[in-house]
Structure 1
Amino acid sequence: MKESTTGLKTIERAFEILELLKDEKEVGVAELSRKIDLPKSTVHDYLRTLTSIGYVINDDGRYRLGFRLLEFGGQMKYRNRLFHIAKPELERIVENTGEIASANIEERGRFVILHAEHSAESLKLGIYPGITIPIHTHAAGKVMLANYPEDRRDRIIEEHDLVAMTDHTITDRDELCDELKKIKEQGYAVDWNEQVVGMGVVAAPVEVDDQVIGSLGVVCPTDRLRDEEYRAELAREVQKSANIVSVNYQYSP
């Protein structure tokens, strides 16, 4: 049992280092040692091992993530059926609106962007596949929560703190549940400034056999989304595409 626990802790430490490298872009041994409170010799051993297998690159004593990790993420996305089915519809949304369009999933109670399409005029938010955020802070996450079975929804809310990403994020459970009820009734979700100030989102669920497998979202500046007519237009676009994706997911080869 002791060996198993030690081995698991070693893996946790290795991934903790990878997470820090993701956030810091590149870092030296001494700096990393301070951040994770480990001796420099131990940190160096981890980095040397991760470098030898290609997950970390050593540039003259500064360490960064290697592109081998991109292979894993890319493969995961291209294996995903929702990505392939949703991509043409995301392209159509972008062509019609000029905004960012994304296909999204939930994993372990977190909101994950599976794929995003952009235009030259869309917001530059650094949205990329694999980025995860608290599910209650984003319309495309809330629209999934709203359509989950009650026990699954409650479990996710209980296991994840309702953290505030901005001053506009809903952090009260009763208020969130009231909004989720409204979202389910109207068939789509809208929010602005809850995840990023200045960003608004309209989203609809992708359902297959009465089960939500993901969502489609349209991201635009808050000021544009406050316009009721434009908001309704985006809601129609995203609902139309979500319905097409739902049908194609079931029947396309």
Structure 2
Amino acid sequence: MNKAKNPVQAVQRTIDIVDYLRNTGGARVTEIADAVDVSKGTAHCHLATLEQNGYVINEGNGYKLGLQFIDLAHHAKARIDIYDVTTTEVDALAEESGEMALFTVEEGDDGVCLYVARGDDAVRTEVYVGYRTGLYHTAVGKAILAFLPAERRDTLINGMRFEPMTPNTITDPRTLRDELERIRKDGIAYNHEETIKGLVGAGAPIRDQSGTVYGAISVIGPARRMSDERLTNDIPEMIRRAVNIVEINITSL
């Protein structure tokens, strides 16, 4: 995420508290105060303000995130014009492939999962709506990167911290640029166990007629079930059909 030049400390503390509750599932005031390095009184003031506005609840044994965040999430997703038509196609893609299908967009230098659909044989992973991940090691991320304007792509790559998620993760900018060049030629990006060992995937960008990238769709499955033929032919063909339907609908927005 981009760094603020002059962050407001009180706001940052509130965000830290919210993040802590998200990661822990709930906690008492003393635990929260220790975690974010503030006094118990300061933590309580932040929590009381959040509770007053519905963003946390106090169940007696500790504070938890409130359902007001669901309302925020609804309005955040509403700004994605193609959300409804894309999720419909992602559902169909998951059903056809039997695997997990994703719709991801780029925001703040990360890939953000906006929708997940699971087919009958889909694996269970930590991916959820709102999940953030680096663009350089996922099929959807590389599909987005490959078709961004060159200046934007260079800015993102130059600012990346290449961490080896698995032994297969690309950690060299030059190697990534070569991979993105191939993706621009083929229109399909692959994840060869680069994010999670044992999982592979394919993805493609969603673009309008001017080339603007709206996001990307991908299918993910276990390597043992994804033969080379299925990963490089069958799955990409399914993805291309889904993307084509979404892109046709973009022209009517």
Q: TM-score over 0.5 for the alignment?
A: yes
When the two structures are aligned, how many residues end up with a matched partner?
246
Query: Residue 31 in 1 paired to residue 55 in 2?
Result: no
Distance (whole Å) between structure 2 residues aligned to residue 183 and residue 160 of structure 1: 19
Name the counterpart of 2:67.
Answer: 67
Name the counterpart of 1:220.
Answer: 221
Offset of 1:88 from its aligned partner? Answer: 2.4
Unaligned runs of 5+ in 1: none
Superposed CA deviations along residues 59-79 of structure 1, whole A, max 9, x for unmatched, are: 214111111101111232244
Distance (whole Å) between structure 2 residues aligned to residue 207 and residue 24 of structure 1: 38
Distance (whole Å) between structure 2 residues aligned to residue 205 and residue 64 of structure 1: 37
Offset of 1:21 from its aligned partner? Answer: 0.9
Contact 2:29/2:62, CA 8 A, preserved across alignment: yes
Name the counterpart of 2:165.
Answer: 165
Superposed CA deviations along residues 75-122 of structure 1, whole A, max 9, x for unmatched, are: 322442221121222122122111111211101111011112112321
Distance (whole Å) between structure 1 residues aligned to residue 120 and residue 236 of structure 2: 22
Partner amino acid, structure 1, of 2:187: G
Name the counterpart of 1:54.
Answer: 54
Name the counterpart of 1:120.
Answer: 120
Report matched runs for 1:161-240 at 5 Å.
161-208=161-208, 209-225=210-226, 227-231=227-231, 232-240=233-241
Unaligned runs of 5+ in 2: 1-5
Distance (whole Å) between structure 1 residues aligned to residue 164 and residue 70 of structure 2: 30
Name the counterpart of 2:3.
Answer: none
Contact 2:95/2:118, CA 8 A, preserved across alignment: no
Query: Secondary structure at 2:82's aligned position in 1?
Result: helix
Taking structure 1 as the reference length, the TM-score comes to 0.91
Distance (whole Å) between structure 1 residues aligned to residue 141 and residue 120 of structure 2: 25
Distance (whole Å) between structure 1 residues aligned to residue 16 and residue 95 of structure 2: 40
Offset of 1:14 from its aligned partner? Answer: 0.5
Contact 1:78/1:84, CA 8 A, preserved across alignment: no
Contact 1:146/1:153, CA 8 A, preserved across alignment: yes
Superposed CA deviations along residues 150-185 of structure 1, whole A, max 9, x for unmatched, are: 110111122331223333321111111111111111
Cα RMSD for the two superposed structures: 1.7
Contact 1:94/1:119, CA 8 A, preserved across alignment: yes
| Percent pairwise identity | 28
Structure with the larger helix share: 1
Name the counterpart of 1:90.
Answer: 90
Distance (whole Å) between structure 1 residues aligned to residue 65 and residue 53 of structure 2: 12
Partner amino acid, structure 1, of 2:24: E
Offset of 1:188 from its aligned partner? Answer: 0.4
Taking structure 2 as the reference length, the TM-score comes to 0.91
Query: Secondary structure at 1:27's aligned position in 2?
Result: coil
